[in-house]
Amino acid sequence: MMADIFRKASRGFSPCLRRFSDFRVTKQSLESPSTPLSEQASLYVHWPYCLRRCTYCNFNKYIPKGNNEEIMAKCLQMETETLLQLSQVSCITSVFFGGGTPSLAHPSTIAKILETVSKKVTLSDEAEVTLEVNPTPVGRAKLKDFHHAGVNRFSIGVQSLQDNDLKSLGRDHSSLEALQTLEEAKRLCPSSVSVDIMFGRPEQTVESWSSELSDMLRVCDDHVSLYQLTLERGTQLFKQVHGGQIHMPTEDTTAEMYQAARETLQQHGFQQYEVSNFARNNSESRHNLSYWKGEQYIGVGPGAHGRFVPLGEGGVAREARTQTLEPDVWIREVQQRGHGTRRRIQLGHLELLEEVLVMGMRMTKGINHKNWELFSPELSLHEIFGASLNFQELQQSGQLILDDRGLRCSWKGLALLDSILPILLVELDRQIFPKSAS
């Protein structure tokens, strides 16, 4: 309780920024089960620019040309407003600034966007507002202002503590700089800092990984995101590997690295709550949890994705929406009609359930019956999966658990989730549309 109050007091107050309405004390109220799904959403804002492209990256990111900052900021605000209006949500539960490199944006841009949100809907002080940070000295220097602007959680892309690895991955910071950024972030937002680290890097061994992880755990805060480096077509790393200049660790090695990491983190008091995410002291990312729980989210910015019901247009079904990829084109569209939505696809009942299933199973707690019921009031998890022989096989071999809490993977099942999901999807299809030919 006291920690909460201290935390609130330590946030700077600035005029024309967030409105401090009621002080909600408990975090739980934001996820009150009585709130229907379509009344609230989380907000994702995409800042598309980076100074360089890392060799492994295939995200929607661009090198900025000229001074797009102002226009981009304006357009982000405009699209935020338009889509909030369209969704008719009364409350935004969390905000996530991703990219690209959002820490390249001006803190005032962040502030303006948050202000746009609070003017239109309820944005509680308790709402988690995360900013992804590239840990260069420049980024570090801006942290304080970001915090003043309303950011209360930082996600730092450390990736590796080996300087030569950072170089060959095309990163533009050293490990020392990353650690310094981490320190500053912890100072500003204690217990609200996450670090991203990568395993399965070229030339990495299980031993070097284990020791690197231990080093990291000595200095990090309460949240760790652990990602396996994957080769994506069209990236420079892909070309290098296929050209034979770089060697990736074998599948067996990376499988071992993952298992070793899970165990190490557990030993250090971290609770794995999702395939790649680990937290202690209740510092789970509420924003990301909202994806995995199937809640609505609004995506703003070039290439952003959203899932919400456009009540403002009289819509009744949840839509999968994508904003235009290219920043320049996106900017034009936002200026012309208020938003740059490129694709909208209505999700049918089955498709929605499929998404809830696939996302939910990524959490170690899996899908609980109450949450499933929100999406599938007619058919429970037991009714859908209980009788299937394939499903029972998975239970018997210890990959899956279905009990009175809900459906989830076991420790070992989680590592094989993508082998399990197609089986579950076949069963789900069968039960929802028993006679359909597909």
Partner 1 sequence: MSKFPVDKIRNFCIIAHIDHGKSTLADRLLEMTGAIAKTEKNKQVLDKLQVERERGITVKAQTASLFYSHDGQEYLLNLIDTPGHVDFSYEVSRSLSACQGVLLIIDANQGIQAQTVANFYLAFESQLTIIPVINKIDLKNADPERVESQIEKVFDIPREECLRISAKLGTNVEAVLQAVVERIPPPAGSISEPFKALVFDSNFDHYRGVVANIAVFGGRVKKGDKIVSAHLSKTYEVNELGLLRPEEHPTQKLFAGQVGYMIAGMKDVKEAQIGDTLYHQEQPVQALPGFKPAKAMVFAGRILEQELDNYPGGVQHAIERLTLNDSSVTVQRDSSLALGAGWRLGFLGLLHMEVFNQRLEQEYNASVIVTAPTVPYKVLLSSAKLIKSRRAVQKNVVYIDEQRVMMKYLFPLNEIVVDFYDLLKSMSSGYASFDYENAGYQAADLIKMDILLNGRPVEELTTIVHRDRAYSTGKAMCERLKESIPRQMFEIAIQAAIGSKVIARETIKAYRKNVLAKCYGGDITRKMKLLKKQAEGKKKMRRIGNVEVPKDAFISVLKRKDK
For 148, 154, 192, 417, the CA distances from 365, given in Å and listed in that order, are: 35, 25, 22, 14
421 near partner 1, judged by CB under 8 A: yes
The CA distance from 91 to 160, in Å, is 37
Binding part of the chain for partner 1, among 20-28, 84-92, 183-191, 246-254 by CB under 8 A, reads: 246-254
Q: Is 404 in the site for partner 1 (CB under 8 A)?
A: no
Report in angstroms how near the CB of residue 96 gets to partner 1 at its nearest: 9
Which segment (87-95, 174-182, 379-387, 393-401) binds partner 1 by CB under 8 A?
393-401
Q: Which of 272, 10, 263, 283 is nearest to 130 (CA)?
A: 283
CA distance readout (Å), 48 to 121, 181, 333, 339: 25, 22, 16, 16
The residue length of the chain stands at: 438
Q: How many residues bind partner 1 (CB under 8 A)?
A: 49
| Residue 414 near partner 1 by CB under 8 A | yes
- Single out the residue of 182, 304, 334, 353 in contact with partner 1 (rule: CB under 8 A): 304
Binding mask 333-352 for partner 1 (x = CB under 8 A): ------------------x-
CB of 99 within 8 A of CB of 47? yes
Per CB under 8 A, the list member of 322, 346, 380, 410 interacting with partner 1 is 322
Q: What is the DSSP string of 331-374?
A: HHHHHHHS--EEEEEE--HHHHHHHHHHHHTTBTT-EEHHHHHH
37 binds partner 1 (CB under 8 A): no
How far apart, in whole angstroms, are the C-alpha atoms of residue 120 and residue 111?
14
For residue 235, state whether it binds partner 1 (rule: CB under 8 A): no
Question: How far is it, in rounded angstroms, from Cα 71 to Cα 49?
Answer: 13
Question: Residue 65 CA to chain centroid, in angstroms?
Answer: 27
Per CB under 8 A, the segment of 4-12, 25-33, 186-194, 290-298 that binds partner 1 is: 290-298
233 binds partner 1 (CB under 8 A): no
Residues within the interface to partner 1 (CB under 8 A): 44, 226-228, 230, 251-252, 254-256, 258-259, 275-276, 288, 291-292, 297, 299, 303-307, 320, 322, 351, 354-355, 358-359, 362, 393, 397, 399, 414-419, 421-423, 425-426, 429, 437-438
